[in-house]
Structure 1
Amino acid sequence: MASTAPPQSVSPPATADLQALLDAARPFLRGELEVVDPRLPSLVATLRSVGAGECWHKNASFLEHLVDIYRILHLWQAPEAVCLCGLYHSAYSNSSDNLAIFKPNTSRDVVRSFVGNAAERLIHLYCIVPWPTLIHNDLLSHYDDSELVKNLKLSEMSLQNARENGAFKGDETWRKKVQSLLPAKGIKVKHRKTGEDVLVSRRVVAVFLMMAMADFSDQFFGFQDMLFENGDGRLEFTGNNFWALWPGDGKPGLWMNLISRMGAVYMLVAREEELFTLERKKSKSHADSELPSEERDEDIELVLPPVFDSCTRVLDTGDQIEARDKYWEAVCEASKSGGAEHYDAVERKLRESIKKNPFVGEPRVVLGQLCLGKGRYEEAEREAEAGLRLLLGWGSPWDKRMSWEAWVAWARVLLMKARERSWPDTSRGIRNLGLVWRFE
């Protein structure tokens, strides 16, 4: 549907923030892993040589999943050791998947020679700690969504007060709860094979939370909702529909409420860690002031994943379901031919989806294409850019019918055409799109 409006001037070039996101993503989009880390091609080749590319893993091969986790963590600016832990997180098998990259008799020295001491230590802990129980039973189950929302606000005020005024209140309810669940000295968990006690620092627990966020976002889609009968969107793994046929209908999954709750707990732990260190500097008489920093892994930086407004928002389960369903109705109906009223209805559903879940990029990208077709170039540019930013921030797709790379490439095409103030009005013209190289 071509616009009858006169041509408009081209919008300014991409902002520095968007360009920075693209620059960070470009080595992954181009397959230039050596630009990210000179060791990375060799590390991936090792995974390939032991058969990781032959193993099924949810919506891809296990090799693809491992590289994706590295990419996500790297784009989230996680420390190098954490990214490498993501890449080799099943080196010794773990408590979530019955997959081990290497043979059972492979020594820790071999893995250490690949990734270094810091990363191997995290990998080993990840594989021996029953982290699903730790995250779901020992942490998430102790908070409901409303308490998380409340505590995020309270913790923000506490941290601001400490930074600006040097004021600390040890009796704050949100802090006391974090301290009870994850003491400053760490938490003891049972080795998943030997049953022995393993001390895990608070920062390592936070790292495992972030890794779980990346892990789930990469592999979860509608198939898991069928498997675990996740009708309420809480994804608590309580259902047992083992007859679910892979890969299902391709719908986006209802996993985002869970990830937002993980992010909220991660933020509470990160804020408590910052308050703890600030308080210790101010007062040497603090009860835990003599805890060695190395035992607390204070060298591990707790970066904030750029999702859910940097882990400050919890997505309501009802909003999650309605947003997914409106999106699915829109993309299914858009594939049918119709007049102006038909596409207006599709647009309304996309906007309703975005309103209910503003944290994913695909609905905005699809809306951007719809606006281009209607000749509304400024709106198309705004939606395509917003969708692209979200896709680059996640490092993984929400709608897994297409890969992350494909969604990013398509969003860039839409943004380029919106800035050119042009859009094909023939099917052949749509098919021939793809000159992404022109948009820099």
Structure 2
Amino acid sequence: MKILLPLLSIIHIGFAIASINTEPDEAINTHGDQQQECSLDEACENGSFEVNITTLTSTISNKATTTAHRHIKSEVPFPVIPPKIIAVLHEDWDVIDPKGKEMIEKISRIDGAVEFAHARTPFFTHLTGTFGTLSAWDQPEEVRRAGLLHTAYSGDLFQFYLFDSNNEEDRDEVKDLLGEQAEALAYLFGTTHRGPLCHFKDVVNNIRPDSVCSTNETHTIEHRGSESGTWDVDRKTAANILIVTIADYLDQMVESNGWKHHQSENGGDSLYPGNGIPEVGFYWLSAVCYGIRDHLDVIPSIFNHCQTVISYDDDKQSRDSYWKVVTEERSLTEKEQITLLNTSAILNPFIGEPNMLLSQIYYRQKNYLHAAKEARAALEKFYTLASCWDKRRSFGQWVAFSRMMLLRSNRMLEGQERSIPVKDPNDLNYVNYNKLVLSDLRDVIQEMKAREAVQ
């Protein structure tokens, strides 16, 4: 059943903001948790917070010890990292695909891939990012491999190519690399006009809110390589082209886009790389995902398994609320920041970054329980999306920082002396290098993994 997230009514948004302003523990959050342990006036504004829980009998020493052999029960447990997310973070491509390392090594030797500035990263990094995202979504081999070279033959918007679609030797090289099915899909991706597929163009341009695939068995689309100028594709192929499109755009979605805005004839109207503000695009990503779900071999878990659609207005307000905190942090009170970030998370419940910022604010307020819950919510969303929304930091960094915040919050909930076994690196007055205690990073990560094991 389709769930459409409409614009919040005045009553709804008024309730949400009133809840956030008066009782942060009763504010609407992604888990639906409601706590009664403090109010904004009593705790948050005064910077004090008491957590009413029983201290765990087994605590961790200030110096982290190797925990691979034991489990640690946490007040707010770590969500388990999906194996394919681990593979993406470690760039362990053979775990994702039996030819993963071989394919990526060959592409990495192409100067045009590695040394070309794409939207926000070099072209090669974008290609592997798209491949990794599709793999984390459990897409079939031909789909994820097509994602690895989705614009190898150029595209309807991207006017550069690594392989000439009119050259049979080039096509044979791509077939040897990806396999015939994946090459055929990459060929269609790069040589056809995707706009008519499931009303893709109209949804992106916000002309219509839904992406409904035709009930016809085939779609006729423009094709620059055929004599007739058109090409017929079946619904499954159309859906596969569009799921690659979703992963493609998700990897590069920033308002200041390198190839689109700055490599045109006249260049962009603002300096690259811009301020990094996320592009408003989840409205059409979610709509297209909903429109193609019945024609995919594997429905990804994003957007509630492609069942939920975000409106353009909600998407934009979510982005703007988040960005106001990012750009005006020093002039906003923490109460105002919490209001804006919760609004962002309510309007777009599929992005983890608002939760990650909330976690930091609650941690500063010594509201460690809420800090841990927000960090966990952020991780769950990052693992599901297999990408980040705020591209100012990499996906791996967002995940790593969220895990650190969850670890620190749990350690403070357990009454430990410090949230992490190191001293303030910015205060050089204390330093005695003969007595400075160092921490093994492997031990820190092992502690996180031990906290994952018990749910």
**TM-score, normalised with respect to structure 1:** 0.73
Q: 1:380 aligns with which of 348, 356, 371?
A: 371
**Offset of 1:419 from its aligned partner?**
2.1
Partner residue, 1:394: 385
Alignment CA distance shift 1:401-1:43 (3 Å): same
Following TM superposition, by how much is the alpha carbon of 1:245 offset from its aligned partner in structure 2, in angstroms?
2.4
* Cα distance change on mapping 1:413 and 1:141 into 2, 3 Å: closer
Amino acid of the residue matched to residue 305 of structure 1? P
1:344–1:428 Cα change, 3 Å: farther
- Residue 407 (1) aligns with residue 398 (2): yes
2:243 matches 1:210: yes
Quick check: 1:92–1:124 contact (8 Å CA) kept in 2? Answer: yes
> Quick check: 1:59 aligned with 2:120?
yes
Please say if residues 257 and 320 of structure 1, whose CA atoms lie closer than 8 Å, have aligned partners that are also in contact.
yes
Answering whether residue 288 of structure 2 is matched by residue 262 of structure 1, we say yes
**CA displacement at 1:116 relative to structure 2:** 1.3
CA offset at residue 377 of structure 1? 2.0
Q: Point out the more displaced range, 304-313 or 2-11.
A: 2-11
Report the CA distance shift for 1:12/1:141 in structure 2 as closer, same or farther (over 3 A).
closer
2:274 is equivalent to residue 248 of structure 1: yes
1:302 alignment partner, one of 297, 306, 312: 297
- 1:323 touches 1:357 (CA, 8 Å); kept in 2? yes
Task: State the distance in 2 between where 1:437 and 1:143 align.
Answer: 46
Cα pair distance change 1:5/1:385, threshold 3 Å: closer
SS of the residue aligned with 2:220? Answer: strand
Give yes or no for the alignment of 1:82 onto 2:155.
no
Pairing 1:120–2:117 present: no
Label 1:320 to 1:241 Cα distance change in 2 as closer, same or farther (>3 A).
farther
With over 3 angstroms needed to count, the CA separation of the structure-2 counterparts of 1:23 and 1:264, relative to structure 1, is same
Contact kept? 1:140, 1:265, Cα under 8 Å: no
Cα distance change of structure 1 residues 55 and 380 upon mapping to structure 2, 3 Å threshold: same
Tell me if structure 2 keeps the 8 A contact 1:210–1:263.
Answer: yes
Q: In structure 1, what is the equivalent of residue 222 of structure 2?
A: 190
Q: Larger deviation: 362-371 or 34-43?
A: 34-43
What letter matches 2:447 in structure 1? R
Sequence identity percentage: 25
Query: CA separation of 1:75/1:101 partners in 2, compared to 1, >3 Å: closer, same or farther?
Result: same
Is this contact kept in 2: 1:129–1:192, CA < 8 A? yes
Q: Give me the CA root mean square deviation.
A: 3.2
Corresponding position: 1:34 with 2:94: yes
Pair 1:107 & 2:170 matched: yes
1:252 CA drift (Å): 1.5
Match of 1:330 in 2: 325
Which deviates more, 316-325 or 138-147? 138-147
> 1:195 deviation in Å?
4.8
Q: CA deviation at 1:402?
A: 0.3
Q: CA deviation at 1:4?
A: 5.1
Match of 2:425 in 1: 428
Q: Residue 9 of structure 2 corresponds to which residue in structure 1?
A: none
Offset at residue 127 of structure 1 (A):
1.9
| Structure 1 residue 202 displacement after superposition | 0.4
- The amino acid that maps onto 2:107 is L
Q: How far apart in 1 are the matches of 2:108 and 2:215?
A: 37
Residue 167 (structure 1) aligns with: none
User: Matched residue of 1:223: which SS?
Assistant: coil
> Which one of the candidate residues 436, 442, 447 is aligned to 1:438?
447
Deviations along 1:389-437, one digit per CA (max 9) or x if unpaired, are 111111221111001111011111111122222647986389x997334
Contact 1:72 1:395 in 2 (8 A): yes
Match of 1:73 in 2: 134
From the superposition, tell whether residues 147 and 222 of structure 1 become closer, same or farther in structure 2 (CA, over 3 Å): closer
Cα separation, 2, equivalents of 1:93 and 1:142: 22
1:320 match:
315
Q: Does 1:369 align with 2:353?
A: no
SS at match of 1:407: helix
SS in 2 for 1:314: strand
From the superposition, tell whether residues 124 and 182 of structure 1 become closer, same or farther in structure 2 (CA, over 3 Å). farther
Q: Secondary structure at the match of 1:35?
A: helix
Judged with a 3 Å threshold, the aligned counterparts in structure 2 of structure 1 residues 137 and 366 are, in CA distance, closer, same or farther, namely: closer
Deviation for aligned residue 1:367: 0.7
The range that moved more, 392-401 or 136-145, is 136-145
Relative contact order: is structure 1 or structure 2 higher (C-alpha 8 Å, sep ≥ 6)? Answer: 2
Q: Which runs of 5+ in 1 are unaligned?
A: 149-176, 229-239, 274-300
C-alpha offsets along residues 260-282 of structure 1, whole Å, 9 cap, x if unaligned?
Answer: 22112123xx1xx5xxxxxxxxx
Structure 2's unaligned 5+ residue stretches are 1-46, 57-72, 413-417, 428-437, 450-455
Answer yes or no: is 1:220 the counterpart of 2:253: yes
Matches of 1:224 and 1:50, distance apart in 2: 23
- TM-score for the superposition, normalised by structure 2: 0.71
- The answer to whether the Cα contact below 8 Å between 1:92 and 1:100 also exists between their aligned partners in 2 is yes
- Once the two structures are superposed, the pairs formed by residues 128-207 of structure 1 within 5 Å of their partners are 128-134=191-197, 136=199, 140=203, 178=213, 181-184=214-217, 186-196=218-228, 197-207=230-240
Q: Tell me which stretches of 4 or more aligned residues in structure 1 moved more than 6 Å.
A: 141-144
Structure 1 residue 57 displacement after superposition: 0.7
Q: Which moved more, 1:72-81 or 1:135-144?
A: 135-144
1:155 is matched with which residue?
Answer: none
Distance 1:141 1:97, change over 3 A: closer
SS at match of 2:309: coil
In the TM superposition, what is the alpha-carbon distance from 1:141 to its structure 2 partner?
8.0
Question: Which residue, out of 32, 48, 54, partners 2:108?
Answer: 48
Q: CA 1:108/1:329 → structure 2, altered by over 3 Å: closer, same or farther?
A: same
Corresponding residue number in structure 2 for 1:162: none
Partner of 1:347: 338
The CA distance in 2 between the partners of 1:141 and 1:358, in whole Å, is 20
Counterpart amino acid of residue 412 in structure 1: R
Structure 1 residues 138 and 60, CA, compared in 2 at 3 Å: closer, same or farther?
closer
- Larger deviation, residues 416-425 vs 391-400: 416-425
Task: Give the equivalent residue in structure 2 for 1:311.
Answer: 306
Query: Counterparts of 2:424 and 2:344 in 1: how far apart (Å)?
Result: 27
SS in 2 for 1:200: strand
For residues 153-199 of structure 1, the C-alpha deviation after alignment (integer angstroms, 9 at most, x for no partner) is xxxxxxxxxxxxxxxxxxxxxxxx74xx3412x12223223452322
